[in-house]
């Protein structure tokens, strides 16, 4: 079998799950030689992926967590942002913002964001047809993270438009300009919060000290950028991918409609099924073995979450979408010290999304052909044209 996991077209027009299945059975720890990208190890089995996640000392995040061409140099966030720091700094930095993404965030969702989510869905119902990815699944997590970071509600649509351009613009120049505009917005917000702190994440970052030293302005901006992307992208793609799975498996949507107590297990199955991070990278800090394959210090190790979450040795019927699946110990949100900071928030957002859809729609139908992302970074839908049927009152 031809193996080329760094060809974006494999994910938009091919069958990566067949490739991952072959790798799990035949070559679960495989070396990919250097080309435009540096050489790296491919790890595809659940237990191996989990072992790497749970050992942040041997497998470092500071050198970057995504494959990038050598000519681009080191990731500028290395050792500075939550995602790209190792112990003990990672734990210290995470402790300053952890509460925002756990109980506080879930309470805020129930108390303040339910009406916002309903408004998003009602707007799409009025339109009839919409792109579920951009008009529904993208808006709810973006509005939530904007609220948490202290972005004024009047500016939510501005940030929404800029993030759409920055991460989906038609050309590199458009994306770069939009990204710079986002950073400028947060620079201005930093200046405002430095003068008048508020109860928000930006103020919390400004007040953060690690070993008696406050975060630099650049470090705060990098973390704001990281939180904005991380707090929206994965939930957007998981929410849309889950909706497509429900459309393709209407019995599962009906099961959810008949029994709302299935929502927690349904959300876990959506996370497993979509596995939105296509790969996550670590760098070995010392020589180590993974399933008998020797990894040298300094070599890159890539973890393929969608493969791990379809591993037949762990999941019964892994290619079956089942809202009643139990147990469901997926790795869609990582594991160990770097377990997704926004995991509780993502679960709450997905539950809120599907609850509001069940409450306000009679049905959701495809209104065109879904389009998959051409990306080795995120796994899922770029467009999902649907028609929403309003619930009869």
- Rounded distance between C-alpha atoms, residue 318 and residue 320, angstroms: 5
Per-residue pLDDT tens over the stretch 229-244? 777 888 999 999 999 9
* Domain span at 278: 9-138+232-390
In a domain, 195, yes or no: no
- Rounded distance between C-alpha atoms, residue 262 and residue 255, angstroms: 8
- Rounded distance between C-alpha atoms, residue 169 and residue 382, angstroms: 12
Looking at residue 71, the DSSP 8-state letter turns out to be G
In a domain, 189, yes or no: no
Q: Bin 73: left if φ > 0, else alpha if -120 < ψ < 50, else beta.
A: left
Per-residue pLDDT tens over the stretch 373-384? 999 999 999 999
CB 180 within 8 A of CB 172: no
In a domain, 277, yes or no: yes
Number of domains in the chain: 1
Per-residue pLDDT tens over the stretch 51-102? 999 999 999 999 999 999 988 888 777 778 888 899 888 888 888 788 777 7
Looking at residue 336, the DSSP 8-state letter turns out to be G
In a domain, 37, yes or no: yes
pLDDT at 176: 85
pLDDT at 168: 61
In a domain, 251, yes or no: yes
- Rounded distance between C-alpha atoms, residue 333 and residue 219, angstroms: 24
CB 129 within 8 A of CB 387: yes
In a domain, 190, yes or no: no
Q: What tokens does 190 get?
A: 């930093």
Q: Buried b / exposed e across 176-208, counting CB within 10 Å, b at 16+? A: eebbeebbebbeebbeebeeeeeebbbbbbbeb
In a domain, 196, yes or no: no
> What confidence tier does 9 reach under pLDDT thresholds 50, 70, 90?
very high
Mean pLDDT of 246-275: 98
- Rounded distance between C-alpha atoms, residue 341 and residue 94, angstroms: 8
> What confidence tier does 225 reach under pLDDT thresholds 50, 70, 90?
confident
- Rounded distance between C-alpha atoms, residue 5 and residue 175, angstroms: 25
Question: Across the chain, what does the average pLDDT equal?
Answer: 92
Mean pLDDT of 314-338: 96
Residue 323: which CATH number? 1.10.630.10
CB 359 within 8 A of CB 263: no
In a domain, 313, yes or no: yes
């Amino acid at each position: 079998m031809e193996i080329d996991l760094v060809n974006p077209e494999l994910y938009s027009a091919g069958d990566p799950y067949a490739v991952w299945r072959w790798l799990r059975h035949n070559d679960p720890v495989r070396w990919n030689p250097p080309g435009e990208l540096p050489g790296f190890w491919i790890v595809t089995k659940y237990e191996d992926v989990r072992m790497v996640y749970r050992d942040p000392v041997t497998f470092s995040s500071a050198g970057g967590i995504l494959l990038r061409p050598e000519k681009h140099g080191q990731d500028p966030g290395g050792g500075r942002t939550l995602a790209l720091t190792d112990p003990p700094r990672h734990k210290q930095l995470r402790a300053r913002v952890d509460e925002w993404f756990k109980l506080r965030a879930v309470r805020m969702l129930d108390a303040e964001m339910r009406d916002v989510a309903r408004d998003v869905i009602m707007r799409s119902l009025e339109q009839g047809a919409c792109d579920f990815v951009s008009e529904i699944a993208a808006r709810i997590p973006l509005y939530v993270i904007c609220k948490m970071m202290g972005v004024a509600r009047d500016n939510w649509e501005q940030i929404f438009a800029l993030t759409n351009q920055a991460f989906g613009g038609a050309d590199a120049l458009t994306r770069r300009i939009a990204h710079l505009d986002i950073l400028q917005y947060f620079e201005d917000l930093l200046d405002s919060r430095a003068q008048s702190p508020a109860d928000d994440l930006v103020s919390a970052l400004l007040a953060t000290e690690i070993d008696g030293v406050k975060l630099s302005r650049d470090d705060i901006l990098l973390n704001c950028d990281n939180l904005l992307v991380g707090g929206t992208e994965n939930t957007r793609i998981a929410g849309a991918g889950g909706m497509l799975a429900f459309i393709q498996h209407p019995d599962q949507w009906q099961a959810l409609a008949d029994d709302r107590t299935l929502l927690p297990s349904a959300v876990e199955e959506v996370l497993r099924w979509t596995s939105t991070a296509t790969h996550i990278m670590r760098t070995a800090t010392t020589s180590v073995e993974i399933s008998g394959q020797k990894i040298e210090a300094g070599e890159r190790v890539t973890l393929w979450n969608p493969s791990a979450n379809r591993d037949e040795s762990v999941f019964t019927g892994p290619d079956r979408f089942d809202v009643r699946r139990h147990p469901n110990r997926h790795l869609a949100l990582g594991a160990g010290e770097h377990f997704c900071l926004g995991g509780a928030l993502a679960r709450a957002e997905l539950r809120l999304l599907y609850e509001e859809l069940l409450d306000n729609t009679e049905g959701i139908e495809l209104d065109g052909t879904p389009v998959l992302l051409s990306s080795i970074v995120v796994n899922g839908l770029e467009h999902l044209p649907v028609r929403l049927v309003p619930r009869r009152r």
